[in-house]
Structure 1
Amino acid sequence: MIELTLSILLLILIGLGLLEAHYHRLALAQLPIRIHVNGSRGKSSVTRLIAAGLRAGGFKTLAKTTGTSPRIIDENGKDRVIHRLRSASIGEQVKLVRN
């Protein structure tokens, strides 16, 4: 009986994960351009410069920096601090894409 309950619970969790992945892919498809900045130093500065250049070129732009002081830079160039209750996670990215 316990095995059946655990199996059903596992199937439900797998189904929910697949559903979340599907909706995340749909949300990503709505973003025409995505730029990923990678490296060990200077990522926040590069992200800000790229976002400013795209805004100046007339693109609607949203940028996110992580690190010691994570922020979202909105389409007007205004910084908004991200208040985390725990460490950074991939769930933070999923929520950002959905909004």
Structure 2
Amino acid sequence: MGKPGYVYIMASQRNGTIYLGVTSNLPKRVYEHRQGLFEGFTKKHGCKLLVWYEGYDDIQEARATERRMKNWNRQWKLKRIERMNPEWNDLWDDIVK
């Protein structure tokens, strides 16, 4: 078995701009987005809220899921968020406990 991985969605606000990503270290990567440590899409658009994530036993499986989801239309992604997090709460505290 390989290294674990996560697919996640960051948002600027409820129904705002969303960003879909993959990482092997979810708390570290979300912290980087929240602090705006790197230039790019999430910093430019203020995507600082973790609104959805899913863990995988293998990073390759997470990457494959991310690639599939990047082809989804926005409505499908919003439905995925709202199934897990109907209020679009920031899930940061859930992953750093």
TM-score normalised according to structure 1 size: 0.29
Q: Which has the higher contact order (CA 8 A, sep 6+)?
A: 2
Q: Which has the larger radius of gyration?
A: 1
TM-score normalised according to structure 2 size: 0.29
